[in-house]
Structure 1
Amino acid sequence: MAFTSSSWSFTSCFVILQLLWSGNQYANGCYTTIISFGDSLADTGNLKQLASVTNRVISVLLPPYGQNFYDQSNGRCSNGCLIIDFLAESLGLPLLSPYVIDKGSDNVRELGHGVNFAVAGATALDSSFLEPRGILNGITNSSLQKLIEMGAQTLVVPGNLPIECHSSYLTSFILMSLSSTLTTTMMPCKSTGSPNKFGFTNGALKACCGGGGPFNYNLLAECGYPNTSVCDRPYTYVSWDGIHLTEAAYRLISKSLFQGPYTTPGLIPCALH
Structure 2
Amino acid sequence: MSSVLSRRIVFSLMFLIMMMFSGHKADSKCVFEAIFNFGDSNSDTGGFWAAFPAQSGPWGMTYFKKPAGRASDGRLIIDFLAESLGMPFLSPYLQSIGSDFRHGANFATLASTVLLPNTSLFVTGISPFSLAIQLNQMKHFKVIVDESHSSDQPELKTLPSKDVFGKSLYTFYIGQNDFTSNLATIGVDGVKKYLPHVIGQIAGTIKEIYGIGGRTFLVLNLAPVGCYPAILTGFTHTFSDIDKFGCLIPVNKAVKYYNTLLKKTLSETRTELKNATIIYLDTNKILLDLFHHPKSYGLKYGVKACCGYGGRPYNFDQKLYCGNTKMIGNASATAKACRDPQNYVSWDGIHATEAANHRISMAILDGSISYPPFSLNNICNS
TM-score relative to the length of structure 1: 0.75
Q: Quick check: 1:27–1:93 contact (8 Å CA) kept in 2?
A: no
Q: Quick check: 1:210–1:229 contact (8 Å CA) kept in 2?
A: yes
Aligned residue type for 1:66? G
Aligned residue type for 2:306? C
Q: Which residue of 1 aligns with 2:302?
A: 204
Instruction: Return the match for 2:351 from 232, 244, 260.
Output: 244
Give the number of aligned pairs.
230
> Residue 105 of structure 2 aligns to a residue in which SS?
strand
- State the Cα distance separating 1:139 from its structure 2 match: 3.8
Structure 2 residue 102 is the aligned partner of structure 1 residue 90: no
Name which structure has the greater RCO, CA cutoff 8 Å, separation 6+.
Answer: 1
1:102-124 alpha-carbon deviations (Å, 9 max, x no partner):
3xxxx895641111010001178
- State the Cα distance separating 1:200 from its structure 2 match: 1.1
Aligned residue type for 2:81? L
Q: Which residue of 1 aligns with 2:56?
A: 62
- State the Cα distance separating 1:24 from its structure 2 match: 5.8
Instruction: Return the match for 1:154 from 195, 198, 216.
Output: 216
Output aligned runs, 1:221-232, within 5 Å. Answer: 221-226=320-325, 227-232=334-339
Output aligned runs, 1:1-273, within 5 Å. Answer: 23=23, 28-52=29-53, 57=54, 61-70=55-64, 72-102=66-96, 111-122=101-112, 126=129, 139-173=201-235, 176=236, 182-187=237-242, 188-189=247-248, 192-201=291-300, 203-213=301-311, 214-226=313-325, 227-265=334-372, 266-268=374-376, 269-273=378-382
Distance across 2 between alignment mates of 1:252 and 1:89: 14
Aligned residue type for 1:259? D
- State the Cα distance separating 1:148 from its structure 2 match: 1.3
Q: Which residue of 1 aligns with 2:189?
A: none
Aligned residue type for 1:271? C
TM-score relative to the length of structure 2: 0.55
CA RMSD of aligned residues (A): 2.9
Distance across 2 between alignment mates of 1:24 and 1:108: 30
Cα gap change, 1:247/1:110 in structure 2, threshold over 3 Å: closer, same or farther?
Answer: closer
Q: Which residue of 1 aligns with 2:152?
A: none
Cα gap change, 1:171/1:195 in structure 2, threshold over 3 Å: closer, same or farther?
Answer: same
Distance across 2 between alignment mates of 1:212 and 1:95: 34
Distance across 2 between alignment mates of 1:110 and 1:210: 34
Distance across 2 between alignment mates of 1:100 and 1:69: 23
Q: Which has a greater percent of helix?
A: 2
- State the Cα distance separating 1:39 from its structure 2 match: 0.6
Question: Which residues of structure 2 form unaligned runs of 5+?
Answer: 1-17, 114-126, 137-196, 250-287, 326-333
Cα gap change, 1:64/1:120 in structure 2, threshold over 3 Å: closer, same or farther?
Answer: same
Aligned residue type for 1:270? I
Question: Which residues of structure 1 form unaligned runs of 5+?
Answer: 1-19, 177-181
Aligned residue type for 2:227? C
1:47-98 alpha-carbon deviations (Å, 9 max, x no partner):
111003xxxx4xxx22101112336231100000000000001101111111
Cα gap change, 1:27/1:68 in structure 2, threshold over 3 Å: closer, same or farther?
Answer: farther
Q: Quick check: 1:23–1:29 contact (8 Å CA) kept in 2?
A: no
- State the Cα distance separating 1:258 from its structure 2 match: 2.0
Aligned residue type for 1:235? Q
- State the Cα distance separating 1:183 from its structure 2 match: 2.6
Aligned residue type for 1:209? C
What is the percent sequence identity of the aligned residues?
Answer: 35
> Residue 345 of structure 2 aligns to a residue in which SS?
coil
Aligned residue type for 2:238? T
Distance across 1 between alignment mates of 2:201 and 2:63: 30
- State the Cα distance separating 1:140 from its structure 2 match: 3.4
Distance across 2 between alignment mates of 1:186 and 1:139: 31
Q: Which residue of 2 aligns with 1:15?
A: none
Cα gap change, 1:108/1:74 in structure 2, threshold over 3 Å: closer, same or farther?
Answer: closer
Q: Quick check: 2:44–2:92 contact (8 Å CA) kept in 1?
A: yes
- State the Cα distance separating 1:27 from its structure 2 match: 6.2
Distance across 2 between alignment mates of 1:110 and 1:142: 28
Q: Quick check: 1:258–1:272 contact (8 Å CA) kept in 2?
A: no
Distance across 2 between alignment mates of 1:234 and 1:27: 36
